[in-house]
Structure 1
């Protein structure tokens, strides 16, 4: 049906009528989307089946990637691109007077993630399939993903995200592969054949039902699987309160990241994490046993990867199944588990290294807690043997201590590999945050710098730039992104600079039209599009960006002779619903935008835009249009970042701290092609260790700082003077935890350099092309190849013949 446009049109029209029960003229755009989506999924199915059969017949080792988040983005356009049928479909639809882009707009943007963690998981799945590697994702089929953001009078309002409102054409429900998950109850011990056996009794049973989605490789026959689990009620017991049980069960997969301010929310998050882990590992074991019987060899055929600490219970759950269900001894089960599981750490922020209160954990998951307790006892005995009498070290490294279960410690102890996601992050883990564990397990620690899928973030998001690169250096880079480096051989060609300038202006025009449509703001295409889009968090320092804009506003108002390169500041961010401070920053951005954009003189030079409901599909329109990429987190706090790579790949120049992957980007492109500023990670760590930072000194000694900080509370924004008091207090009373004021002067200086550099447009675009040419290093294909070779020990599987 996709062999040519005529056969596609014929099939499309027939399928539309049969599926929708109406003629073409009466059909809606959504009818057309569902028709096309079903046709594409049907086309994928044969490759999907063949891939699974190939993995079984070749008995290849497979990796299972467990993640609480998968931020997929829309799939129709990406699948058409990967299947090499986009042109046929687009031309066929055009002859039917249908716009493919309008059809794509009907697709929900499933927000099954909060940001970088979930998008990284999606890029990894794309690379696994494209590299013909046998690897699958396991996650949760949240009914409501991350909230839809609405801005009302400058304040963030959260609305339920309903990606399943119109169904999901890509998923296949597999009720025959459902598994039971047990909560609450108690554990009974008995003696069998001279040993203890354990049984979880009086448990509340929940059914985990899998929904499989195909993950299509680019221009290959491999189609891997993303399995998302849905929580459904088990057969009812006459002793259960049916309505209460149904409500509690469905709540498990109702919302991504339920509010855990109170115990009820904490219990629900724990349920989600165990639900994901138990369902996934039961499924993995069942699949393994179809082909083999000796579970002592599991690690030779299966790799289980846990993406951050959320799936850390994979360690005790695999132990539970191997011991309680499969009858292995503790030592046998531990040898298998500790060689099967591997763990990626994504943060050094204390709040992200999960710790669960025992009084909640133990009654909810009694058998799992018992196993963790045993793991902890044995681990502490090992520590005692190596460090006799060092109680402080053992207390610090224990998995259970001070009434808490420490999930990162559990993941480290139970894994064969622990990796960070950028060189500096991995070094901080080894030398500071996890130093004790590194000293004990030095062979486990390694680095795997993050990467992004250039198929999503260049080929799909920026077809104009893709065409320009192909015309310049051919198409080999599409399959081997490191070949983008060949662009550097053409920088002497003035025509390349001119064509790139035209592409960038075209993408800026597309974004400007969207801003005009959504925000009612007309922006200058000749201005610098200065962009900061990412999760709203204090350490990412959107506040530093805002204070700089306030400083520019003050200079422009006070000095009529002060001139700058016109600039459009673009923000996009969601703040966690319970993160009061972050939501105040969003309000501050909007209050500043109101002030700037309505000023007759200032608005001719600068504009401030906040793009509502930041998500993958919106990001695809923002990255190609950006001139400047703001990567200004406090040094040492951003593990890697991937937005920095997406901007780089689309020809934006980075303004950044020496943090995360910014450092490796700088090493790759050269200091002259990036704008760095601020404290280094070592500077920050020293301040934190010696406690000598005094933000008030910067407030008193820099008039620019004093002015903008005072404006937060002196009525400058015409709101209640207490509106932004919490932000001012964070800078002065709470001593500016993320060193915003310390880096303020350096940030102003580097932004002045940006403005001057942009005036030489040819030199600017040459730097942009240098960034693009080096961006292939930051492809997720490179990252996944390293995971496959160094950690998972898996090999590509090819179609024979």
Structure 2
């Protein structure tokens, strides 16, 4: 899209008031001059981006301060969302959209002779997350602000986010993500609020009380990031902690004249906030990771207690003139995003017992009424289990508290099921294996008032299988909260063409009430509207095709089906099955080149954890298959395979609006929810998927006729493995599958290294944990149906539009409203705070 076209398109959604444009231009020039100390003769595009960012931030600041004042005045119950990951992406465009100043900024830059799209491209993604869990946290922050909740995100300000992925000779190569190298115009450091964090040391009895002594002290320095709600003048905060060593750290080195050693030790201590752990759905128990998890909760809970104490309720006096914590659960809700912040439970107990002198039973009552836990996975390898030895070394006081919690809890279990030793062992927080470990999921369940899964099928699996014993003991604790996505970023911002034709038909109320999209359903029979719908999709595809040619040097046919699978590379997500389909189609074309084929461009994107050998081998396979398919003159443009390097939020915003087909093909019962599936649905792609995660509810909302469902359901998967699954049975009776696998084994796709993919062949035939071969034929048949439907563009568009119309349930606004009412005990507010300068 040219700048003029974009300028015209943005302006459709609101004429920019001239006084706003003049103010923005003046502010922009002022920041260029006074903040960046540049003039137009020497300023770079980077400088112009920063000037625009600071100009937009000026519009945030008064609203941000006023929001915090408002919360102090009305003293509402506050919600604290603790997550080790926040995958925020870019901030500039999102802020302009939520503040309603996008058209004014666009007009101002246009008048200054600048390309706003070029400026937006200068912003580096804040990639402080691995994938779905971190992006969900970002969507939730947007919804909490839009719903007027007094909510705070808490995380870690990693110096390096999720690694930058490069592809060299088909292999993934990791490079550090230096997202802070030019500075971050959105954050505000708060060095005056540094908080001490303790590690190591020992526990000793002092006056008959346990005390944590001889600790190493570090500091947590907060950086606040504004989170604007949509068009309501509410600006909440995301507080990210950075680790700093105290000035006195290892002073004895200085006293011995070893200055260099002292500085090195300081740097080593500050490694806690240096880098995001790049593992997704895999638990890797390392001391640094444990310290990161405790660093987050220790700093956050001190902040929460401080804020509570300064509120009206926190100033109530208890015994001996100390603050009363009786009302703490009525004023504070803490949500644990997976088990990563699970140490919040023993840490809150420690603060209450050791620091505030609250008796154990009362402290436990307060803790269990304050905390709530969201589970994000049922994969055994992803559940956190910390070795007792490591926990006792790094956090000795917390280990003793966890032992006490466990002893009291097991007494309850014993009273409920007397003599049932196996149940005691399964429910214990301490796993008595070869190496004693603390099961952090069990800690979260016992120490929380609510436990939720993130899709209906996932929550059922938690109750029936993963946490069956706990569900029997605490049935009222277990809930479902199906995930959602923010419609602001994932439709309004990333797909302005579709947003405009929707707004022309049904208005703009859908932006904050996505259920309004149901009003689009009748238009699935309106040929004129469907042709406009197809035109928008085609424009998005052309834009992506140009992007791919510019950035990947790949020419694609924009009239082909854009078939996409973008997510972390993991065996359970079954990118391998997608590759088997590509190979199958390739073999069919080679076998019968005269036949008619629906042209496809298959795009696969995602990062593999650096230590996950098989995932990296799958990336190599995708690239090798692509190299052979794309260069085969017999195939031509009927089939193209592209690996999308360095998949991230910003790239998702470009590719999702252009997708025709979304692949959500995990083995039933392995994907907790998925949110990429919702983004594709909202942007008018059809889904091919299994009855897994949120796919199940998507199919219910849109109707089974408007989604391509294949493969086994959860019960059938269980039955297959119960009876004994033999992949060779499927291999031997399916010639196309056999040919594809034999090609992997023979070196057809790795002629220079013939045995390169034999490992994948052997795994699929001997250790097929995720039943690819069992679902293969059903998947191929569903893909045949996809190709057949794509021939009829109007029918395809009608089904795609029905997908968009059925997306209402999958707004994060709906998800957060449910959390608010059913877990946190707060009510969303539609109150619009006054504009800056207006009286309340």
| Range class of TM-score, shorter chain | over 0.9
TM-score when normalising by structure 2: 0.93
Whether 2:343 is the aligned partner of 1:322: answer no
Q: Does 1:186 align with 2:198?
A: no
Instruction: Give the distance between the partners of 2:283 and 2:80, measured in 1 at CA.
Output: 31
Q: Compute the displacement of 1:603 (Å).
A: 3.0
Number of the residue aligned with 1:486: 519
Distance 1:59 1:21 in 2: 41
Within 5 A, what are the aligned runs for 1:339-738? 339-402=369-432, 403-688=436-721, 690-717=722-749, 718-734=751-767, 736-738=768-770
Question: Is the Cα–Cα contact under 8 Å of residues 653 and 771 in structure 1 kept in the other structure?
Answer: yes
Residue aligning to 2:784: 752
Aligned residue for 1:749, secondary structure, equals helix
Structure 1 residues without counterparts, runs of 5 or longer: none
- Three-state SS of the structure 1 residue aligned to 2:197 is strand
Q: How does 1:239-250 map to 2 (within 5 A)?
A: 239=252, 242-250=262-270
Shift of 1:3: 4.5
Bigger mean CA deviation after superposition, 13-22 or 425-434 = 13-22
Please give the per-residue CA displacement for 1:294-336, whole angstroms capped at 9, x wherever unaligned: 2121101000000001000110000000000000010010000
Aligned residues: 795
CA RMSD of aligned residues (A): 1.6
**Distance verdict in 2 for CA 1:424–1:2, change over 3 Å:** farther
How many Å apart are 1:198 and its aligned residue? Answer: 2.0
Rounded to whole Å, the distance in 1 between the matches of 2:282 and 2:772 is: 31
Structure 1 residues 275 and 258: CA distance shift in structure 2, 3 A: farther
Q: Displacement, 1:561?
A: 3.4
Partner in structure 1 of residue 799 of structure 2: 767
Residue 3 (structure 2) aligns with: none
8 Å contact from structure 1 (residues 630, 655) kept in 2: yes
1:259/1:525 Cα in 2 relative to 1: closer, same or farther (>3 Å)? closer
Question: d(CA) in 2 for partners of 1:438 and 1:262?
Answer: 25
SS of the equivalent of 1:405 reads strand
* Alignment equivalent of 1:210, drawn from 222, 242, 245: 222
Contact 1:112 1:118 in 2 (8 A): yes
Query: Match for residue 10 of structure 2?
Result: none
2:162, 2:278 within 8 Å by CA — same for their partners in 1? no
Is the Cα–Cα contact under 8 Å of residues 258 and 268 in structure 1 kept in the other structure? no
Match 2:168 to one of 118, 140, 152: 152
Q: Residue 198 of structure 1 is aligned with which of 189, 193, 210? A: 210
2:52 pairs with 1:36: yes
Cα shift readout 1:478-529 (whole Å, capped 9, x = no counterpart): 2211101101122232110110110000000011111111221111111110
Please list, as runs of the form range in 1=range in 2, the aligned pairs for 1:235-384 lying within 5 A after superposition. Answer: 235-239=248-252, 242-257=262-277, 266-291=286-311, 292=314, 293-384=323-414
Q: Deviations over 1:243-293 (max 9, x none)?
A: 453133221111111689999970000000000011111110011111113
The answer as to 2:117 corresponding to 1:101 is yes
Partner SS for 2:482: coil
Report SS of the residue matched to 1:614. coil
SS in 2 for 1:726: helix
Shift, 1:407, TM fit: 0.4
Distance 1:3 1:269 in 2: 51
Task: List 4+ stretches of structure 1 deviating above 3 A.
Answer: 258-265, 796-801
Q: Report if the CA contact (8 A) 1:60-1:134 is conserved.
A: yes
Does the 8 Å CA contact 2:283/2:381 hold for their aligned counterparts? no
- Give the Å deviation of 1:110: 1.3
Query: Which has the larger displacement, 228-237 or 641-650?
Result: 228-237
CA deviation profile, 1:742-766 (whole Å, cap 9, x unmatched) = 1110011000000000111101000
Within 1, Cα distance between the matches of 2:545 and 2:220? 45
CA–CA separation in structure 1 for the residues paired with 2:625 and 2:703? 35
Q: Which runs of 5+ in 2 are unaligned?
A: 1-16, 254-260, 315-322, 835-839
Q: Cα offset for 1:678? A: 0.3
CA contact (8 A) 2:562 2:601 kept: yes
Aligned to 1:173: 189
Q: Answer whether contact 1:134 1:794 (CA < 8 A) is retained.
A: no
Q: Give, in angstroms, the shift of residue 2 of structure 1.
A: 9.2
Distance 1:200-1:245 versus aligned 2 partners, 3 A rule: farther
